[in-house]
Structure 1
Amino acid sequence: MRADSPTPDPSRKREGDLTSLYTAAEIAAATGGTASADFTVTGVTFDSREVGPGDLFIALTGELTDGHRFLAQAFAQGAAGAIVSQPCDYPHVLVADTMAALESLARAARARTSAVVIGVTGSVGKTGTKEALAAALDRSDPGATHKSVKSYNNHTGVPLSLARMPAASRFAVLEMGMNHAGELTALTGLLRPHIAIVTAIAPAHTAFFSGVKAIADAKAEIFSGLQPGGTAIIPFDSPYRDRLIAAARMQDARIVTFGTGEGADVRATETLVRPAGTFVLAKLGARELSFTIGQPGEHWVSNALAIIAAVDAAGGDFGLAGLALGDLAGLPGRGARSEIALPGGGTATLFDESYNANPASMRATLAVLAAAPGRRIAVLGEMRELGDDSSSYHSDLAGPIEAAEVAHAILVGEQMRPLAQALSLAGRVHFVHVADAAAARAALEAVLAPGDAVLVKGSNALGLAAIVRALNERCIQEAVR
């Protein structure tokens, strides 16, 4: 277990349940290690909190902790074996470096599969697109699509997701993220996708880049790992389209664009917002597909077009994909919607976007809030890693907040001060500026009333998810009474 490992997901689907994923001999061969005993594993994890019966526990070492400390816990929870760099009394494969062993196991999993492998990156929309694409492909061959769970998209999450892939998978959809140049080159080299998607380019992690063009170049690194004859799926309406296309052409990729503009290969020719979702009529060359997207917001139209393009490129059934898009539900922290019970009676609608935030995603979710009935309340946390332009990125949100007719804004974190000043000067939106999530929750509780629509969004490090959990738990408690 590492200090920088992704948050555990106790509810994750246990890939390979009741099916052998690896034997001890296969793990030893892949990693160059030595097996202490014969064992078979049906899952892989490096987080002791996630270990379940039959899992392989990889004892990673980090700056703040060492996975070897959790071996007893892992085996008490049912681990079948472990990868370790120190001898132990449990069934294990001994290696020199457990992180290197994880990467080697990922390469072995990639080498043995005949699945169509799809990599997804972008400044916004990665996780939602990955989830929806996996659901769409699963309609073609139920149970044969492997995906990364949650946002396992970094230097540990991507190899873990690969290592978990059953050999018999037909499709694999994995998310890749980055906040520095060069990171995607390493990840896509490990993944070696047949199809690579860039959802969108927008200001995010700008503290580590010279500008948005540099972000586009870093996202374009995903194409460097494409398999020969692979497909690059690129946003047509992006101002960085030609930059992305040039990078893909360097890899001799087949290029497919998506968007609403004339000339996009996969194009929305008609959209209609309805209470049940957004109706889309899309063209793919001479073919047409009509479908309804279950999630609200214009950004989901763009995501859906990328998904249709990928399903078609992967050989899936894009008609069934349209049905899957209609069944979309929001993810925790990324669009999940719930009705929360209020202490005095009545309910309010909660929009959970608490996982992360950048200027583009803030604008998109405020537009979704604008379509919600009732009084609108926005709990907005600061956006981090925006560099020298952070103040202007924050203050520029005043316009979208006003356009959404937000009745009450709760601004969280010191970096929200420029936005507080902008709203104060305009004088059209009632707001409070607080230091942290606890103060934000208190401010929200003081104004929340039946019929309200509440958006909670901010950088993950602020912990605004705690507000969402508290409100949803109260909803459950109220329902039980």
Structure 2
Amino acid sequence: MNALRQPHPALRQWPRVARDRLGLALWTSEEIAAATGGTASTAFQCAGVEMDSRDVRSGDLFVALKGDAMDGHRFVEKAFASGAAAALVDRPVDGPHVLVEDTTAALHALAAAARTRSDAKRIGVTGSVGKTGVKEAIFAALDRSSRGQAHRSVRSYNNHVGVPLSVARMPARARYGVFEMGMNHAGEIAGLTRQVCPHVAVVTTIAPAHIENLGSEEAIADAKAEIFAGLEPGGVAVIPFDNPHFERLRDHATEIGARVMAFGRGAGADVRLLDAIPAANGGSLITAQVGDTRLCCSVAEPGGHWVSNALAVLAAVKAAGGDLAAAGLALAEMGGLKGRGARHQIGVPGGKALLIDESYNANPASMRATLAQLGQTPAGRRIAVLGSMKELGDFSDGFHAQLAEPLRATQVDFAVLVGEEMLPLARELGKPTATPLPPTHGFAHCEGPAEAIAALQEYGLVPGDAILVKGSNSVGLGRLVDHFTRRN
């Protein structure tokens, strides 16, 4: 009997590593107090970190942040009612808490402690287009190869609050962390990258997003290149070889001593596309040379822009020491994200139509890419619901008017233009041209989502239609998507 109680020899010899000594809780009260310089009211453990009381789950640490218009301390009681294990506060409250002088500074300190206690390889992702999709694909690849030990920022938590929150949520046992960084002005990414201190910094592409605030694409490239300033010594900068601003990005990276890994179609790219053909599911089948490895894989997401995104993903995984085969499988299984390519079969009289949800963001480059994707989508009729592109400043009229050309090239049967900034495009489409939109259909210009819904209903959706919905988030086209998908 005694022999039966002994562990199997193979189990006794199982190698132990430093990670095995790390706690299973995300944070304990002692760890939070030590990281923030605060005082814990009692002993507790937390399974998550949250700053919005509406999103609190059982076991979370609720961080009561103070802003210009809102004070999170007003919602501490609600957070506890939702199951929060404790709160991070700057005044005593009823319930377990850690008392600090400044909750925002404490969140940053907690993020720094999460970063230093873990040996996870950290990957930072920025760029004018494709940040969230590339971040999700890198995470999927690394999570697959590490068997669930990868961490990422959720949603678009990519600003001065979302980034430290995402880092603070990284478990001590994580092997990888993938973090998105966004900006509207120069200098913003410089602060974010020092929160992450990535080992790998990815710039997806440079395009005229936020050009209203920055003035030129060169200035946008400089602002995105701030991500390299936070790289750990010996870090890798992953940059787009085919972009007109490649050399500018490369120079920024080499100035701080980063190793450059370029991705693209050109002969000088380190991760180079050799071939891409359309796949039966609407995606692509690509062959890429990744260093001395040749990889053939499927990319589930449709469109030529996702071929480029896939190369960025492969480069990031390679730079982080991940498994390229797992990356190929992850790319083959990627599904469209809400507002960023999700595809819905919606009910219409007599059958189904395809609705492509790109309602979260828009700039001139992404508009052209998704219109090209619509043009490659098998459909009886192609319909484009396009919302205004924001933050283009003095360039706005020109960039909107220039969408007439890709609309015509896509052979859109009906276009619904939403928002005041779309007026220049409406005027352009109204001009006689050698290649007009089909004369029996045309376009409608609407002030907002409600009018756009009415315009589609009046036009009449039929089975086999493909409807692209794309615009800046503030236009509110997500409400149009919700209307048609809920009805389904």
Q: Structure 1 length as normaliser, TM-score?
A: 0.94
Distance across 2 between alignment mates of 1:311 and 1:426: 49
Match of residue 436, structure 1, among 436, 448, 472: 448
Distance across 2 between alignment mates of 1:389 and 1:234: 26
SS of corresponding position for 1:292: strand
Q: Which ranges in structure 1 are unaligned for 5 or more consecutive residues?
A: 1-17, 476-481
The Cα shift of 1:148 comes to 0.5
Q: Does 1:287 align with 2:290?
A: no
- Greater displacement, 71-80 / 279-288: 279-288
Q: Which ranges in structure 2 are unaligned for 5 or more consecutive residues?
A: 1-22
1:14-44 CA deviation, whole Å, 9 max, x = no partner?
xxxx941111111111111111111110000
Distance across 2 between alignment mates of 1:450 and 1:234: 42
Residue pair 2:276, 2:284 contacting (<8 A) in 1 also: yes
1:238-289 CA deviation, whole Å, 9 max, x = no partner?
1100000000001111111000011111100111112222011101233200
- Greater displacement, 395-404 / 60-69: 60-69
Distance across 1 between alignment mates of 2:302 and 2:213: 32
Distance across 2 between alignment mates of 1:320 and 1:91: 42
Distance across 1 between alignment mates of 2:450 and 2:95: 43
Q: Which amino acid aligns with 1:80?
A: A
Q: Does 1:316 align with 2:322?
A: yes
SS of corresponding position for 1:137: helix
Distance across 1 between alignment mates of 2:241 and 2:110: 37
Match of residue 461, structure 1, among 454, 463, 474: 474
Q: Which amino acid aligns with 1:175?
A: E
Distance across 1 between alignment mates of 2:295 and 2:69: 51
Q: Which amino acid aligns with 1:291?
A: C
Distance across 1 between alignment mates of 2:372 and 2:363: 14
Q: Does 1:106 align with 2:106?
A: no
The Cα shift of 1:461 comes to 0.7
- Greater displacement, 321-330 / 427-436: 427-436
Q: Which residue of 1 aligns with 2:151?
A: 146
Q: Which residue of 1 aligns with 2:458?
A: 446
1:325-366 CA deviation, whole Å, 9 max, x = no partner?
111110000000010012x33111000000010000000100
Q: Which amino acid aligns with 1:409?
A: A
Q: Which residue of 1 aligns with 2:402?
A: 396
The Cα shift of 1:86 comes to 2.0
Aligned CA-pair RMSD:
1.1
Q: Which amino acid aligns with 1:158?
A: V
Match of residue 251, structure 1, among 253, 256, 259: 256
1:288-327 CA deviation, whole Å, 9 max, x = no partner?
0001100111111111111111111111110121111111
Percent identical = 58
Distance across 1 between alignment mates of 2:187 and 2:38: 29
Distance across 2 between alignment mates of 1:219 and 1:292: 29
Q: Which residue of 2 aligns with 1:327?
A: 333
Q: Does 1:376 align with 2:376?
A: no
Q: Which amino acid aligns with 1:332?
A: K
Q: Which residue of 2 aligns with 1:92?
A: 97
Distance across 1 between alignment mates of 2:44 and 2:350: 55
SS of corresponding position for 2:201: strand
Q: Which residue of 1 aligns with 2:19?
A: none
Matches within 5 A, 1:77-476: 77-276=82-281, 277-342=283-348, 344-372=349-377, 373-426=379-432, 428-429=436-437, 430-447=442-459, 448-475=461-488
Q: Which amino acid aligns with 2:327?
A: A
1:97-143 CA deviation, whole Å, 9 max, x = no partner?
11111111111101111000000000000000000110011221111
Match of residue 74, structure 1, among 76, 79, 85: 79
Distance across 1 between alignment mates of 2:454 and 2:145: 47
Residue pair 2:350, 2:462 contacting (<8 A) in 1 also: no
Distance across 1 between alignment mates of 2:315 and 2:52: 35
Q: Which residue of 2 aligns with 1:15?
A: none
Distance across 1 between alignment mates of 2:432 and 2:119: 58
Q: Which amino acid aligns with 2:453?
A: R
Q: Which amino acid aligns with 1:416?
A: M
Q: Which amino acid aligns with 2:469?
A: V
Q: 1:192 to 1:426 in 2, by over 3 A?
A: farther
Distance across 1 between alignment mates of 2:47 and 2:291: 43
Q: Which amino acid aligns with 1:104?
A: A
The number of residues matched between the two structures is 457
Residue pair 2:197, 2:232 contacting (<8 A) in 1 also: yes
**Greater Rg over alpha carbons, structure:** 2
Distance across 2 between alignment mates of 1:137 and 1:147: 10
Distance across 2 between alignment mates of 1:143 and 1:292: 22
SS of corresponding position for 2:68: coil
Runs of 4 or more consecutive aligned structure 1 residues displaced over 3 Å after TM superposition: none
Q: Which residue of 2 aligns with 1:6?
A: none
SS of corresponding position for 1:258: strand
The Cα shift of 1:426 comes to 3.8
Distance across 2 between alignment mates of 1:400 and 1:30: 53
Distance across 2 between alignment mates of 1:205 and 1:170: 34
Distance across 1 between alignment mates of 2:432 and 2:147: 53
